[in-house]
Structure 1
Amino acid sequence: MSRARWHIQSEGETLTLARGKRVRLDVAAHTQLPDAGRARIAHQVRQDMWRALQGLKGFSPVVQVRREAGQLHIVAGGEIAGRFVRAKVEDIIQAMLDNPARRARWVNSARTARRAS
């Protein structure tokens, strides 16, 4: 899916990536990363979250990235239109956010993109 189909809202140090303007977090997990390109991180987290939850019907991902004190504070989750078990879905998202290989890939890619622009 192209990036053009995603709504990006930037308010101060917070960037929100969602399917549309309405942002609802039925489920959410949190992490922190070193400072890097917020939009690039948001897109990559969204892609990996989508892959991890692709079997969850009615899922619409939301990623918020806030820059604060040299860190990126990330909230990943989204809206779910249908039945789900909150703890199970949040555990899947948290495991994805805590994966060391993914974290390194997100930061390296965002830093590379930031230097190129």
Structure 2
Amino acid sequence: MGQTRWHIFTEDGALTLARRMPARFDVAATTVIEGGAGLRKARVAHQVRQDMWRALQNLRGFAPVVRVRSSGDDLEITAGGSVAGRFPKAETEARIRAVLDNEHHRARWGRYAKEAKR
């Protein structure tokens, strides 16, 4: 297997996880986890990326990007990425939206990313 290198950078309090640099959103969907500002952003980003990849792994030329930022007490997640070539944009956005709106996924992301008690 090849190396799996992900670019992680923070800018203005937002964490971005990307496969390729520069990170680019040719397609994207956004959701908000209410009361999620205390979750670890990197863990949320990796979980969202994994679920999005499972849904879009057959999309040729797809490179995932996930941006996570706190907005007050909430956590705003933008998921999508760049696509090399032509692709069905509306269908792809709908598939990303389905991943972001899946209650089972959201519950798992929250469990995995909870801040450790000190």
TM-score when scaled to structure 2? 0.90
- Map 1:28-107 → 2, pairs under 5 A: 28-33=28-33, 34-35=36-37, 36-107=39-110
Check 1:2–1:66 CA distance in 2 against 1; reply closer, same or farther (3 A cut).
Answer: farther
- Measure the CA separation in 1 of the matches of 2:3 and 2:12: 21
Q: Which runs of 5+ in 1 are unaligned?
A: none
Structure 1 segments (4+ residues) deviating >4 Å? 1-4
- AA aligned to 2:99 is M
Once the 2 structures are TM-superposed, how far is the Cα of residue 116 of structure 1 from its aligned partner? 6.3
Structure with the higher helix share, 1 or 2: 1
State the one-letter code of the partner of 2:16: T
Give the TM-score taking structure 1 as reference length: 0.91
Contact map agreement 2:67 2:79 (CA 8 A) in 1: yes
| 2:20 is equivalent to residue 20 of structure 1 | yes
Distance in 2 of aligned mates of 1:87 and 1:2: 31
User: Does the Cα contact within 8 Å between 1:13 and 1:68 map onto a contact in 2?
Assistant: no
Could you tell me which residue of structure 2 aligns to residue 9 of structure 1?
9
Change (3 A) 1:2 1:32: farther
Q: How big is the alpha-carbon RMSD for the aligned residues of Structure 1 and Structure 2?
A: 2.0
Give unmatched runs, 5+ long, in structure 2. none
Shift of 1:4: 5.9
Task: Report the Cα distance in structure 2 between the residues aligned to 1:13 and 1:2, rounded to whole angstroms.
Answer: 31
Number of residue-to-residue matches in the alignment: 115
